[in-house]
Amino acid sequence: MTILVTGGAGFIGANFVLDWIAAEGEPVVNVDKLTYAGNLANLASLSGDKRHAFSRGDIGDRAFIDALLAQHQPRAVVHFAAESHVDRSIHAPGEFIQTNVVGTFTLLEAVRGFWTALADDRKAAFRYLHVSTDEVYGTLGADDPAFSETTAYAPNSPYSASKAASDHLVRAYHHTYGLPVLTTNCSNNYGPYQFPEKLIPLMIANALEGKPLPVYGDGKQIRDWLYVGDHCSAIRAVLAKGRLGEVYNVGGNAEMKNLDVVHALCDTLDRERPRDGGHRKLITYVKDRPGHDRRYAIDARKIRGELGWSPSETFETGLAKTVRWYLGNADWVAQVKSGEYRRWIEKNYAERSAG
């Protein structure tokens, strides 16, 4: 038995591959294009482990995916591969459409061809799990109820629109062809191996260098934070017990204003790596993200009630683990801050200097 994972060298994908092999012991074929966000160093602890087979390639390359499916005969596909950063989608949306929409379509077509030809027992057991985001639901007002699986889609950024399009394709492949799909829509993840373009690892990396901590707009936007290990356990639960064609929202029940997240980080770093005057002094308000969603919140009652899943970490325990991981892995941070990273930081923050 083998599963095929796409995007398994990225942040959540790599955490999932490590978690899967530790928890299930089942072999993984890991397909990743190794964009700026993909990093084989995330999987270094699996070096020499025969349960992990890495294959560099693009989910949009039909012949490549067909060959992998034929060779490895997976019993399931877990699809993480995507362009994932909202600010990059605002600067350059084309790659988001290419990978998130066209790539997902190509992957679905390849999987449909493979699945259709399977014998009945394998066909019935096969699963295609699509990893998506809460951003497809748009933005919430302060008093709105949290996103549920029946909330209407209203994506606001090129990133979330491309993910919404991919979710619709996955849904249609179940409805039209009977492909045995499952979809998860998860809130903001944080934890080890997250690329320091995203809020939490960017703030940790900047704080450790004594650089400004750039808070967009008024810093009162709200996200629902989930430790990445809890996202991995949710995906395992949905893959094992989810009802075919169903969507499961996944969240940490941890709504926080961005500014409160940054304050919590500063206070943690003050304890772990004290600096003169404290880290909060580094906070700098910068120009807001265009079309910035104000609030996300997840109603996770379905996955809890049907599958018995709930997060193991609170925001406090997850953040403490995360900060400790970044402090203990300065080499990893230094390695990912390559030329491409520096170019991105200059591009994204140069035009935000006016707060």
In angstroms, what is the minimal distance from the CB of 111 to ligand NAD? 14
What distances in angstroms separate CA 34 from CA 2, 94, 123, 308, one per listed residue? 22, 18, 31, 34
Burial 176-212, CB ≥16 within 10 A → b, else e: eeebbbbbbbbbbbbbbbbbbbbbbbbbbbbbbeeeb
First to last CA, the chain: 53
Handedness of CA 274, 278, 284, 290 (dihedral sign): positive
The rounded distance, in Å, linking the Cα atoms of 355 and 24 is 48
Site for ligand NAD in 242-301 (CB under 6 A): none
Q: What is the dihedral of CA 275, 276, 280, 286, to 10 degrees?
A: -100
Catalytic residue among 32, 87, 137, 159: 159
In angstroms, what is the minimal distance from the CB of 110 to ligand NAD? 12
299 is catalytic: no
Looking at the Cβ atoms of 76 and 203, the one nearer to ligand DAU is: 203
Q: Provide the greatest CA pair distance for the chain.
A: 67
221 binds ligand DAU (CB under 6 A): yes
86 binds ligand DAU (CB under 6 A): yes
Catalytic residue among 134, 230, 255, 293: 134
Q: Which residue is nearest to ligand DAU (CB)?
A: 133
Looking at the Cβ atoms of 135 and 167, the one nearer to ligand DAU is: 135
Only segment of 67-75, 78-86, 94-102, 168-176 that touches ligand DAU (CB under 6 A): 78-86
Give the one residue of 3, 13, 146, 215 binding ligand NAD; rule: CB under 6 A: 13
Looking at the Cβ atoms of 110 and 221, the one nearer to ligand DAU is: 221
159 is catalytic: yes
Looking at the Cβ atoms of 21 and 299, the one nearer to ligand DAU is: 299
Site for ligand DAU in 256-275 (CB under 6 A): 258
Looking at the Cβ atoms of 202 and 303, the one nearer to ligand DAU is: 202
CB count within 10 Å of CB 277 equals 9
Show the CA angle centred on residue 2, arms to residues 195 and 75, nearest 5°: 105
Give the one residue of 35, 106, 162, 187 binding ligand DAU; rule: CB under 6 A: 187
HSE (CB half, 13 Å, CA atoms) of 269?
A: 27
Only segment of 2-10, 86-94, 254-262, 313-321 that touches ligand NAD (CB under 6 A): 2-10
341 is catalytic: no
Helix (H) or strand (E) holding 248: strand 247-250
Backbone angles phi, psi at 178, to 5 degrees: 80, 10
87 binds ligand NAD (CB under 6 A): no
Residue closest to 285 by CA, chosen among 265, 256, 258: 258
CB count within 10 Å of CB 332 equals 18
Binding site for ligand NAD (CB under 6 A): 6-7, 9-13, 31-35, 37-38, 58-60, 80-84, 99, 103, 131, 133, 163, 186, 188-189, 195
Residues annotated as catalytic (active site), given as ranges: 134-135, 159
Binding site for ligand DAU (CB under 6 A): 84-86, 133-135, 187-188, 198-199, 202, 214-216, 221, 223, 258, 289, 296
